Structure 1
Amino acid sequence: MPKSTAESGEYATLVRENYRRLSKALPNFTPRREQNYLVAEMSKVLSGRYDAGRRILVAEAGTGIGKSLAYLQAGIPWARMQQKTLVISTATLALQEQLIEKDLPLFHPHCKPSFSFALAKGRARYCCARRLYDLQAGVAQTELFTPDAPLLMAAPLTEAQLKQVSELWQAYAKGDWLGDRDSWPTPIAPSLWQHIEAQRHSCQPMLGHQQCPFHQARAALEKADVIVVNHALLLADLSMGGGFVLPEPEQCVYVLDEAHHLASVAREQGSARLALRHLIRSLEQFNKWQGKLNDLLGSDGQAAIGKLQHGLAQLIPSLNDLYRQLVSALQKGELKPDEQGCLRFSTGDLPCALDEPLLRLKEDSQIFCRTLGPINSQLAEQLKINPSKAATIEAALAMISLQLLQAEQVYDGASLLLKPTLEKHTPPARWLELDSKDAKELVLCVTPLAVGHLLEAWCWSRAAAVVMVSATLTALNDFSYFRRSVGLRLDDGSHYVRLNSPFNYQNSALIIPPLECEPSHGDFNDLLVTHIAQWLDEQAASLVLFSSYRQMNEVAKALRAKGQSLLVQGEASRHALLVLHKQKCDAKQPSVLFGTGSFAEGLDLPGIYLTNLIITKLPFAVPTSPVEEAMAEWINQTGGNAFMQLALPEASRKLIQACGRLLRSESDTGRIVLLDKRLVSKRYGAALLQALPPFTLDIAQQ
């Protein structure tokens, strides 16, 4: 028997046996047909049954299928057999916590081969042991020759914070605390955490910080068979080529849960923001510190420092020239920001002859980057030769690392801003922002619109296998919108599966009452006040979703004036609001939650905690952000229809998500009230309704 066939048979047996043990061990276990089918499809893709050269599955799995347990059953045995690491990436902290605290511990005792698992978190979630020690010991930060001294000294610690610093250090020194922010029993205020958090520019392997919390956590990841991570950290690692935080893509089986967020997170990862005055001040401050570098490196470092000074003498004027050119264009009215202080550059040439100063900036930042490498190496040598100066050399290394990071960002930002608009290539979104906190600051921003080619190069073409799952991957009953956003093609060997939720949607109603006007009408807020009051009457547990904070607050004010009790997003933390809501429901008191788009996703209110969902408006995104404007402009310029290709599919996906708040378990029932007559009056309304789960429709004649 061929080895691959034998391995496939062994793998299938493992999956079946693991399922048998799990089903016997769990009380009241109920087999789920959709979950079993999802396990089977994942197993086929991982085994190469559909395409041995491209093991990629895109699966839309409706609420209640149990997709997390499905991908654990299929993914862990195959990854262990292939000696790969299973990397599970999510968009939300809630799902990470569910996997680490519930799903993985539940599956672990019943799985063969056995596995270990760990949570990967960003560096900023860990404290820096050296900074924590220095702070509790009273070492003055300015004595340590550190670039972030102004930040630290600007807000001295209070007596209470100093007491907490002492408690943190004692717990860490005794081994009672691992040094991560999330495991401390009480919240650590941001104003304190900024003093002790691990930072990229001050946390380097050459400094020998093997006992630092961040490096200990990274060492634990190397031994884990299953790693849970968020999309931002995963894509940051992949954008650098992989293998920095997580194993290299070739050694990974990826499960990307909540995959509908991938494209937006990838865009953020590829973005750049050049705050020009901040960069100039940082370089000028660095220039003043070069005397101390001279003292540290002595005569051996003169050649390297000479090149560094030459690099600075080019880069600072380049930044100043670009800044002055922008200021001049603003003063002359050649550049006119909107009321929010934002000015988007349309596709095509950059305005005001910015190409030339940006090109100089790109070249000078690259030269400056090259001058920092030798300085870094010589400081590392000095660390070996003069261990008594470890604190000072460490701070100098941190400063060099910070300058290198900033210079790389300048180079990347200038390169993307200068990227030519080629035929059939989507240009980046480029814009200028005036900083609301600093009247003299100018920020050049750039974001790639099309990230599919990046994801293909970073992951799809390299990974051992990829499974993308979400409850909402289709838009208007089709995968095309998602496929384009993440760089997949219909004919590239990727496999697609769509599984409907097992919930009985017919037992719940979707109501569109008779409405006097559309959302664009001036009387729409008055309409909402009247109808929401009517549909809240005699309801025990309600959630009302709005498209904007402003509209939500105006309606809330009007309803409270009529005596309505409300829990409104923004007036307390999300957690606090949900606790109050559940307490009122448990006490059989009517409770009403008001929220915006962030409450339409990830909010879990099963059973008695939500039976009445009111959606005030179809979730069309207003293309006011530079990225949305640029995307719509490009689609229209290339002969497409931005509404049909962008706005409508995205609205469909968001509406499905919003409606998904109502039913969270198989026994849930309730109703959805949609206060937007466009579902009936517009031609696209039927398509939006058809894409929703099969609720019982109650549509009034408009």
Structure 2
Amino acid sequence: MLSPAVKSDIRACYQTLQAQLPHFVPRKVQNYLVAELAKTLAGDYDNKRRLFVAEAGTGVGKSMAYLMGAIPFALNNNKKVVISTATVALQEQLANKDIPFFRRICPKPFDFILAKGRQRYCCAHKLSAVADTDSIQGALFTQKPKQNEQRLLNDMYSAFSRGKWDGDRDSWPKPIADHLWQAIASDKHTCHAGLHAHRQCPFAKAREAMDKADVVVVNHSLLLADLELGGGVILPEPEQCLYMIDEAHHLPTVARDFSAANASLLGATGWLEKLNQATVKLGNTADMKRANRFVDSLLDAIQLLIPTLRDTNQIISGLPLNEDGCYRFVDGELPDALVEPCQQLKQASKKANQSLAKIHDLINERLKENDISAKLADPALAESAFFLQRLENLEKVWSLMAQPNANKGAPLARWVQRCQEREDDRWVHVSPLEVGWRLDQMLWSRAAGVGLFSATLRALNQFSYFCRQVGLSENDGTRYLALPSPFDYANQARLIVPAMPCEPQAKQFTDVLGDKVLEYLEGETASLVLFASYWQMHQVAKTLEPHCRRHQWQLLCQGTLSRGALLEQHKKAVAAGKTSIVFGTGSFSEGLDLPGNLLTNLIITKIPFAVPTSPVEEAHAEYIEKCGGNPFLQISVPEASKKLVQSVGRLLRKEEDSGRVVLLDRRIITRRYGQSLLDSLPPFKRVVEQ
């Protein structure tokens, strides 16, 4: 049950919030969201399953709601709050604005930190080494730094030594080239607190600060990275955490990508040959008496890996590639000729990885025991770490490739692709189709409590599609909530479906679009037009450019400028009373914030159906068909519903906003699924032209 102390702290937060914001308008839906989240975390609905899924429309104020519902509960129950987002923009909003403000109104003090992955921090020891031109930098660099690059490294070391820089790549004022950063970036193999020289590394300090913080802000990728390692490695233990997962509709894709793996065949033989040449030297540094059996084991594994990779490339080279240079294995099943090589590569890569890890550990031990100087150990550790990272990936690829398809559940998607850099080489890819069971295993069944939030979690007004993606069930004890936006949609905006001479599948549709888009731009000063493809966007832009020049309209196309610069130009033109039009594709349907008079006219050219073109999407559709389902109705329509809701969500950002949405796709009226799509949209006043 929710304790009196937590209730009191939440009430105090709310009262202080009202006092600090003179124009604050209480929202019943926000209050309800806070209360339901807090009760779920307290186990009021299900003591064993404290999971909360909430779709909260624009204007509800969900960020403040989950801060108010989760942080007081965590502080009173000795738990930590981990907030995960999909975008940098929301991370920065939380870390720079929302959480500092909430800390001022919260009756109990708390600390928070914006957490980043290890690779975003430099290693102080490596930085010191590369700043010393007589030191070990040859082992750390893939190419010798130029004079200006060496000056940059020296400047970074000087700033770090004087406490003027914290070692975070993102806080350095200028861009740092990838090859330079890779030489000094922290890595799990060589940078750990067990080695004295690395105890003051930026990541070690950040990890220490993370352990002390009550609230940790991360992105979905870092969250998944920690969970894949077993949880509690980078972030606090799941059993001690309340996870507030914002922008949760992105979680299934991020989780799937994290479980996927790929590697080239001949490319791998190249670095394996270099490892073969370096193995004895690494063994000597580790002390050959102790490392001898691991050196022999590693050399044996490499001698099997290299020819088997070449033979496998020969077999794969005979497969018929499609126009994109891909070949996907139907149902994820490998041909007989590949089954044995995949098993051999799995076993050999595992053996190589384990053997090199032992050699690496022995070098670490000698360094720790002062049995070897840092001058000798550091280059060997850097070199072995370089190869270890590649061997770990190689083992993951071939373990997944060799894994037989299970009798139950979806198979793995497996495909090969031509290497662009080298015509005779092939990339091998493997990816799961469904990741819900992994999320349940890693997170839902372990966490002290979880809240999942987004403005678009439901598809076709139901949570079932999202549940299937993330491994939840609608009757497993999880608490579900769909909260409407406080906006008065019927009076603030109209949805217009114009009469059209044809539907999007027709060849002449793009030609028709030019005239129709122009018709609905006339008389409007701030417009956003969303297209299904870059090609179609550019075709319509070419058609409209003469008219725009003649009438001095500003036409801004996605890709001509950075997103921030493009929106800044749009804002300046609107502020000056000029007509400004933004053309964008699907990525502009989410996260684009143009409140007030910055957007009053939103034109959507097509229902955003995604064509299953990637091997993973094709494999998923194939699996659903095999199970007797309909991929279009089970995947395409629900996904289109979510994207369409996101698209129309660009129009009204604040309660005083107004405008219109124009949908130039008559299928929403003429097709059977169209009514379901319409019903999932906000209750705009509808105008359907005949």
Using the TM superposition, give the Cα deviation of residue 141 of structure 1 relative to its aligned residue in structure 2, in angstroms.
5.9
| Corresponding residue number in structure 1 for 2:163 | 175
**1:345 corresponds to 2:318:** no
**1:263 corresponds to 2:252:** yes
Q: Secondary structure at the match of 2:331?
A: coil
Using the TM superposition, give the Cα deviation of residue 47 of structure 1 relative to its aligned residue in structure 2, in angstroms.
1.1
Deviates more, 1:582-591 or 1:621-630: 582-591
Where structure 2 has 5 or more consecutive residues not aligned to the other structure, the ranges are: none
Q: How does 1:254-333 map to 2 (within 5 A)?
A: 254-301=243-290, 304-331=291-318
Using the TM superposition, give the Cα deviation of residue 135 of structure 1 relative to its aligned residue in structure 2, in angstroms.
3.2
Deviates more, 1:600-609 or 1:471-480: 600-609
Q: Determine if contact 1:451/1:487 at 8 Å carries over to the other structure.
A: yes
Matching residue's letter, 2:390:
Q
- 1:654-681 CA deviation, whole Å, 9 max, x = no partner? 1000110111100111111111111112
- CA, structure 1 residues 610+387, in 2 after alignment: closer, same or farther (shift >3 Å)? farther
Q: Determine if contact 1:305/1:375 at 8 Å carries over to the other structure.
A: no
Q: Secondary structure at the match of 1:593?
A: strand
Matching residue's letter, 2:676:
A
Using the TM superposition, give the Cα deviation of residue 316 of structure 1 relative to its aligned residue in structure 2, in angstroms.
4.3
Deviates more, 1:195-204 or 1:601-610: 195-204
**1:665 corresponds to 2:665:** no
Deviates more, 1:458-467 or 1:166-175: 166-175
- 1:488-534 CA deviation, whole Å, 9 max, x = no partner? 11221101000011112112111111111111211111111111112
| Corresponding residue number in structure 2 for 1:692 | 681
| Corresponding residue number in structure 1 for 2:477 | 493
Using the TM superposition, give the Cα deviation of residue 326 of structure 1 relative to its aligned residue in structure 2, in angstroms.
3.4
**1:336 corresponds to 2:331:** no
Task: Find the aligned partners of 2:368 and 2:131 in 1 and give their Cα distance.
Answer: 27
| Corresponding residue number in structure 2 for 1:389 | 373
Task: Find the aligned partners of 1:434 and 1:589 in 2 and give their Cα distance.
Answer: 49
- CA, structure 1 residues 329+273, in 2 after alignment: closer, same or farther (shift >3 Å)? closer
Task: Find the aligned partners of 2:441 and 2:508 in 1 and give their Cα distance.
Answer: 50
| Corresponding residue number in structure 1 for 2:85 | 90
Q: How does 1:614-693 map to 2 (within 5 A)?
A: 614-693=603-682
- 1:3-29 CA deviation, whole Å, 9 max, x = no partner? xx5x61221121112211221122211
Task: Find the aligned partners of 1:236 and 1:92 in 2 and give their Cα distance.
Answer: 16
Task: Find the aligned partners of 1:652 and 1:218 in 2 and give their Cα distance.
Answer: 41
Q: Determine if contact 2:294/2:359 at 8 Å carries over to the other structure.
A: no
Q: Determine if contact 1:322/1:354 at 8 Å carries over to the other structure.
A: no
Q: Secondary structure at the match of 2:607?
A: coil
Matching residue's letter, 2:484:
N
**1:459 corresponds to 2:443:** yes
Deviates more, 1:44-53 or 1:276-285: 276-285
- 591, 596, 600: which is aligned to 1:607? 596
Q: Secondary structure at the match of 1:443?
A: strand
| Corresponding residue number in structure 2 for 1:206 | 194
Q: How does 1:339-488 map to 2 (within 5 A)?
A: 339-347=323-331, 349-351=333-335, 353-386=337-370, 389-488=373-472
Task: Find the aligned partners of 1:200 and 1:550 in 2 and give their Cα distance.
Answer: 43
Matching residue's letter, 2:59:
G
- 1:442-492 CA deviation, whole Å, 9 max, x = no partner? 111011111111000100000000000000000000000000100011221
| Corresponding residue number in structure 1 for 2:76 | 81
Matching residue's letter, 2:310:
Y
**TM-score normalised by the chain length of structure 1:** 0.94
Matching residue's letter, 1:497:
L
Q: Secondary structure at the match of 1:647?
A: helix
Matching residue's letter, 1:263:
P
- 544, 553, 558: which is aligned to 2:538? 553
Using the TM superposition, give the Cα deviation of residue 97 of structure 1 relative to its aligned residue in structure 2, in angstroms.
0.4
Task: Find the aligned partners of 1:44 and 1:684 in 2 and give their Cα distance.
Answer: 37
Q: Determine if contact 1:322/1:358 at 8 Å carries over to the other structure.
A: no
- CA, structure 1 residues 311+384, in 2 after alignment: closer, same or farther (shift >3 Å)? closer
**TM-score normalised by the chain length of structure 2:** 0.95
Deviates more, 1:167-176 or 1:129-138: 129-138
Q: Determine if contact 1:128/1:196 at 8 Å carries over to the other structure.
A: yes
Using the TM superposition, give the Cα deviation of residue 255 of structure 1 relative to its aligned residue in structure 2, in angstroms.
0.4
Task: Find the aligned partners of 2:153 and 2:294 in 1 and give their Cα distance.
Answer: 41
- 1:358-402 CA deviation, whole Å, 9 max, x = no partner? 011111122223322431232122213447721431232233333
Matching residue's letter, 1:272:
A
- 121, 125, 129: which is aligned to 1:130? 125
CA RMSD of aligned residues (A): 1.9
Deviates more, 1:287-296 or 1:251-260: 287-296
| Corresponding residue number in structure 1 for 2:106 | 111
**1:518 corresponds to 2:503:** yes
Q: Secondary structure at the match of 2:194?
A: helix
Q: Secondary structure at the match of 1:205?
A: coil
- 1:141-196 CA deviation, whole Å, 9 max, x = no partner? 6643x4xx33x33xx4353x444333322221111111112223344454654444
**1:185 corresponds to 2:173:** yes
Matching residue's letter, 2:252:
A
Report the number of matched residues. 684
| Corresponding residue number in structure 2 for 1:217 | 206
Deviates more, 1:292-301 or 1:647-656: 292-301
Q: Determine if contact 1:87/1:253 at 8 Å carries over to the other structure.
A: yes
Using the TM superposition, give the Cα deviation of residue 80 of structure 1 relative to its aligned residue in structure 2, in angstroms.
1.2
Matching residue's letter, 1:623:
P
- CA, structure 1 residues 577+140, in 2 after alignment: closer, same or farther (shift >3 Å)? farther
Matching residue's letter, 1:134:
A
Task: Find the aligned partners of 1:135 and 1:380 in 2 and give their Cα distance.
Answer: 20
Q: How does 1:30-109 map to 2 (within 5 A)?
A: 30-109=25-104
| Corresponding residue number in structure 1 for 2:6 | 11
Task: Find the aligned partners of 1:341 and 1:607 in 2 and give their Cα distance.
Answer: 47
Deviates more, 1:81-90 or 1:372-381: 372-381
Task: Find the aligned partners of 1:503 and 1:619 in 2 and give their Cα distance.
Answer: 24
Task: Find the aligned partners of 2:135 and 2:424 in 1 and give their Cα distance.
Answer: 31
Deviates more, 1:555-564 or 1:239-248: 555-564
Task: Find the aligned partners of 1:305 and 1:406 in 2 and give their Cα distance.
Answer: 22
Deviates more, 1:93-102 or 1:527-536: 527-536
Matching residue's letter, 1:174:
R
Task: Find the aligned partners of 2:656 and 2:451 in 1 and give their Cα distance.
Answer: 29
Q: Determine if contact 1:511/1:698 at 8 Å carries over to the other structure.
A: yes
- 1:302-357 CA deviation, whole Å, 9 max, x = no partner? xx2343333332344334324323324534xxx11111111111115302521100
**1:227 corresponds to 2:216:** yes
Q: Secondary structure at the match of 1:401?
A: helix
Matching residue's letter, 1:423:
N
Q: Determine if contact 1:280/1:316 at 8 Å carries over to the other structure.
A: no
